Amino acid sequence: MSRNGQSSSLKPIISVREMARALGHSRARFYQLQGTIYPPPIYDIRTRRPFYDAHLQQVCQHIRQTGMGWNGQYILFYSPRSNSPQTSAPRSPRKRSRVNQESKELAETLNSMGLSVSASQVEQGVQELYPEGLAGEDQGIVIRELFRHLKQG
């Protein structure tokens, strides 16, 4: 096998799926490039199934190696992705903000009133003062109580 998973020996005919795999493309990407960058397949008259003969396989492999399309257009190919777990680094999940938007807004209001507090401090104060939550509470009273609570602490 040579680079890009391309075999030096060609079969007499191969399917579109096999051609895409031999070139290191997904089937969907190969279909996007088919007819412009890569030549269209030959169709069997009886079954109407597309295939690539040995000559078209060579043409496609030459296009992949040189970056010069069937229509004369240049194309840059990216390296194929590796789906094996050994070579791909595990993705770390995005850290979600532990502080909710309401606490951030309350912290901004308290900071504009001259109290230097973070959103997490505000959230902790809300939990201490309002263990049942802020639903149905007057916003002005909540801010006043939080200001007093956090200024003392």
Please state the domain extents for the chain: 3-66, 101-152
Alpha-carbon distance values, 40 to 31, 37, 43, 52, 59 (Å): 9, 9, 9, 9, 11
Q: Which residue has the tokens 């490039």?
A: 33
Mean pLDDT of 12-16: 94
Q: How confident is the model at residue 8 (pLDDT cuts 50, 70, 90)?
A: low
Examine the pLDDT at 1 and tell me if it is beyond 50. Answer: no
Tell me what pLDDT residue 14 has: 95
Tell me what pLDDT residue 89 has: 57
Q: Nearest to residue 64, comparing CAs of 87, 53, 43, 80?
A: 80
For the chain, the average pLDDT equals: 83
**Token pair for 54:** 């040995």
Q: How confident is the model at residue 83 (pLDDT cuts 50, 70, 90)?
A: low
CATH code: domain 3-66 is: 1.10.1660
Examine the pLDDT at 108 and tell me if it is beyond 80. Answer: yes
The more confident residue out of 56 and 140 is: 56
> Is this prediction's pTM over 0.75?
no
Q: Name beta bridge partners: 51.
A: 15, 42
Tell me what pLDDT residue 3 has: 46
